[in-house]
């Protein structure tokens, strides 16, 4: 059996054994009037090992040998309860220069056992981090929370995570560093319902004290769930061509830096790391970018633990730095980006780059070698780990790249690769503005609308 097959099989065997051990236990529920399997599962769900309520329904059916139509009042059902109280995981404190190596997981995969399958593969190949969506650009949280309705008229919203505590606790048991990604000021849901909070179509006003209080409340709630790190995305102004803040004597970079200081005071007091996603292009310190979006590295660096520049080669414009197609130079742009950022921040902040795990604009061959080049560039240039971004969470090429690095293999020659459904990805309508930078639109991905970026500070 090959290295890859052996360790994947071993990993899944471990995970399967782990889940079965957790599931050992039971209680008896006597069916009452109005009961259904879904209602019974909802009642006992926090006290079981099941990761979703539907999974618990299936377990109840299997354990009791029944069908969903066969309940009768007075019937006794065995419920696989294993604990007396719901899980309450605690944040695991780590130094800011902890070498976090991992991937992004959207809320729908985070809400299924797919997240543990991915985490298992990461551990096999020496990685250790999951970045999951706690709040994405659409504005809804990925879990049930009263906060949106406390601050706005929003009553309900779709969410993918049924039990945040189980996600964090189970990942902790796998020795995974758990990072909650929060899209800060780009918020379609709240901007649509709170017009006085809005600065642009899908954007909240960073200078509004109520907006800042809302985001702070979300961060507090996530810390209470036991996440190890808060990662702020879209923590900036929109690229609207304006420099106004509406606050006399305050620039946009003043507002953003002040907000970050407020959040960092909170996270640092709780032993939780704070990271910030930034445009890769901001590292080149073009005045227009800094003045408009408000991300001034000199002001920001003292109020975060980690900066994660989005150094996707595909998102540098044609002929940038004299290179016709930057997407075909993955090592160069990652290494240069980290080197330039280190010149600015020195040792004041840790650099952990976002890397491209999608084929947008790549013409010389997208595959494991493309990703391996970027990881090597981060390691060679002093990055404290790395994070891979794929909006649809397709990491097959990434796993091979990690395996090659573990075994000291050199990358294979590039070969042109197309997505199974045809085409590399939105080649006819690529991101063209600052608001379309952390996208990686994939034909197979979950976010395919080029007008709505899937990430990016």
Q: Which of 253-257, 293-297, 378-382, 419-423 has the lowest mean pLDDT?
A: 419-423
Q: Which residue has the higher pLDDT, 15 or 197?
A: 197
Q: Both 251 and 360 in a single domain?
A: yes
The domain spanning residue 292 has which CATH number?
A: 3.20.20.80
Are residues 274 and 200 part of one domain?
yes
**Reported confidence tier of residue 451, pLDDT bands at 50, 70, 90:** very low
For residues 353 and 375, give the distance between their C-alpha atoms in angstroms, rounded to a whole number: 9
Average pLDDT score over the chain? 86
Look-up of token digits 């899209």:
183
- And the tokens for 190? 């709240």
Please say if the pLDDT value at position 268 is more than 90: yes
Rg (CA), the chain: 23
Domain, as residue range, for 34 = 25-86
SS (H, E, C) the chain: CCHHHHHHHHHHHHHHHHHHHHCCCCEEEECCCCCCHHHHHHHHHHHECCCCHHHHHHHHHHHHCCCCCCCCCCCEEEECECCCCCCCCCCCCCCCCCCEEEEEECHHHHCCCHHHHHHHHHHHCCCCEEEEEEECCCCCECECCCHHHHHCCCCCCCCCECCHHHHHHHHHHCCCEEEEEEECCECHHHHHHCHHHEEECCEECCCCHHHHHHHHHHHHHHHHHCCCEEEEECCCCCCCCCCCCCCCCCCHHHHHHHHHHHHHHHHHHCCCEEEEEEECHHHHCCHHHHHHHCCCHHHHHHHCCEEEEECCHHHCCCCHHHCCCHHHCHHHHHHHHHHHHHHHHCCCCEECCEEECCCCCCCCCCCHHHHHHHHHHHHHHCCCEEEEECCCCCCHHHHHHHHHHHHCCCCCCCCCCCCCCCCCCCCCCCCCCCCCCCCCCCCCCCCCCCCCCCCCC
For the beta carbon of residue 362, count every other beta carbon within 10 angstroms: 22
User: Is 441 contained in some domain?
Assistant: no
Number of folded domains in the chain? 2
Q: What is the pLDDT of residues 320-349, one digit of tens each?
A: 889 999 999 999 999 999 999 999 999 999
CA distance 417 to 439: 19
What pLDDT sits at residue 357?
A: 97
Q: What is the pLDDT of residue 366?
A: 95
Are 41 and 115 within one domain? Answer: no
193 and 335 fall within a common domain = yes
Band (24; pLDDT cuts 50, 70, 90): low
Domain annotation covers residue 419: no
Q: Indicate if the pLDDT at residue 437 is higher than 70.
A: no
> Which of 51-55, 100-104, 280-284 bottoms out in mean pLDDT, i.e. has the lowest?
280-284
Rounded average pLDDT over 440-454? 28
442 located within any domain: no
Together in a domain, 78 and 104:
no
* 440, part of any domain: no
Last residue of a domain, one of 36, 58, 86: 86
pTM of the model: 0.87
Question: Between residues 197 and 419, which one has the greater pLDDT?
Answer: 197
Query: Is residue 424 in some structural domain?
Result: no
Q: How confident is the model at residue 412 (pLDDT cuts 50, 70, 90)?
A: low
pLDDT of 69 reads: 73
Say if 9 falls within a structural domain.
Answer: no
Tokens 């640092």 sit at which residue? 268
Residue 1 is assigned to a structural domain of this protein:
no
Mean pLDDT, residues 234-239: 95
At 449, the pLDDT band (50, 70, 90 cuts) reads very low
Let me know whether 62 and 180 are in one domain: no
Residue 117 has pLDDT above 80, yes or no: yes
423, pLDDT greater than 70: no
Instruction: Compute the Cα dihedral for 146, 151, 157, 158 and give only its sign.
Output: negative
Is there a single domain that holds both residue 175 and residue 72? no
* Whether residue 142 has pLDDT greater than 90: yes
Same domain, 397 and 313: yes
Residue 422 within any structural domain of the chain? no
- Give yes or no for residue 20 having a pLDDT over 80: no
pLDDT of residue 203: 97
Claim to verify: residue 108 and residue 250 sit in the same structural domain: yes
Percentage of the residues of the chain whose pLDDT score is greater than 70: 84
Q: Are residues 37 and 105 in the same domain?
A: no
Task: Note the pLDDT of residue 411.
Answer: 62
Would you place residue 202 in the very low, low, confident or very high pLDDT band (cuts 50, 70, 90)? very high
User: Within this chain, do residues 390 and 344 fall inside the same structural domain, yes or no?
Assistant: yes
Is 191's pLDDT higher than 50?
yes
| 252 shares its domain with 366 | yes
pLDDT, residue 288, reads 72
CATH number at residue 64: 3.10.350.10
Using the predicted structure, report yes or no on whether residue 7 has a pLDDT greater than 80.
no
pLDDT tens digits along 47-96: 999 999 999 999 999 999 997 678 999 999 999 999 999 999 999 999 99
């Amino acid at each position: 059996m090959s290295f890859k097959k052996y360790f994947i099989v071993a990993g899944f065997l471990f995970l399967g054994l782990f889940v079965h051990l957790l599931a050992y236990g039971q209680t008896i529920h006597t069916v009452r009037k109005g009961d259904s399997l879904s209602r019974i599962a909802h009642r006992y769900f926090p006290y079981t090992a099941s990761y979703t309520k539907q999974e618990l329904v299936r377990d109840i059916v299997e354990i009791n040998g029944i069908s969903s139509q066969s309940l009768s009042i007075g019937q006794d059902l065995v419920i696989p309860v294993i604990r007396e109280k719901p899980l309450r995981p605690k944040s695991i404190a780590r130094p800011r220069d902890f070498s976090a190596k991992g991937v992004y997981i959207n809320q729908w995969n985070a809400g299924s056992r797919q997240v543990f399958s991915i985490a298992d593969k990461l551990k096999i190949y020496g990685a250790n981090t999951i970045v999951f969506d706690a709040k994405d650009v659409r504005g809804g949280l990925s879990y049930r929370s009263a906060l949106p309705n406390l601050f706005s008229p929003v009553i309900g919203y779709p969410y993918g995570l049924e039990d945040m505590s189980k996600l964090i606790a189970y990942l902790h048991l796998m020795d995974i560093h758990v990072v909650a990604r929060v899209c800060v000021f780009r918020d379609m849901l709240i901007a649509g319902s709170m017009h006085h909070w809005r600065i642009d179509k899908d954007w909240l006003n960073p200078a509004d004290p109520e907006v800042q209080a809302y985001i702070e409340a979300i961060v507090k709630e996530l810390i209470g769930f036991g996440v190890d790190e808060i990662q702020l995305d879209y923590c900036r102004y929109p690229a609207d061509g304006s420099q106004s803040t509406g606050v006399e004597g305050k620039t946009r970079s003043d507002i953003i830096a002040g907000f970050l200081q407020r959040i960092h005071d909170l996270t640092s007091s709780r032993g939780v790391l704070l990271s910030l996603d930034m445009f890769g292009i901001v590292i080149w310190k073009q005045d227009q970018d800094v003045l408009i979006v408000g991300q001034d590295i000199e002001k920001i660096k003292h109020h975060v633990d980690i900066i994660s520049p989005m150094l996707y080669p595909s998102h540098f414009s044609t002929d940038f730095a004299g290179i016709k197609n930057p997407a075909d130079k993955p090592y160069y742009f990652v290494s240069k980006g980290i080197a330039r950022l280190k010149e600015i921040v020195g040792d004041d902040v840790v650099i952990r780059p976002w890397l491209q795990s999608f084929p947008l604009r790549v013409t010389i061959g997208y595959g494991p070698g493309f990703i391996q080049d970027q990881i090597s560039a981060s390691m060679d240039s002093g990055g404290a780990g790395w994070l891979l971004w794929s909006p649809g969470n397709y990491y097959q090429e990434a796993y091979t790249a990690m395996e090659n690095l573990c075994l000291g293999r050199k990358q294979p020659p590039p070969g042109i690769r197309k997505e199974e459904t045809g085409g590399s990805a939105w080649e006819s309508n690529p991101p063209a503005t600052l608001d379309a930078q952390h996208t990686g639109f994939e034909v197979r991905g979950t976010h395919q609308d080029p007008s709505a970026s899937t990430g990016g500070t």
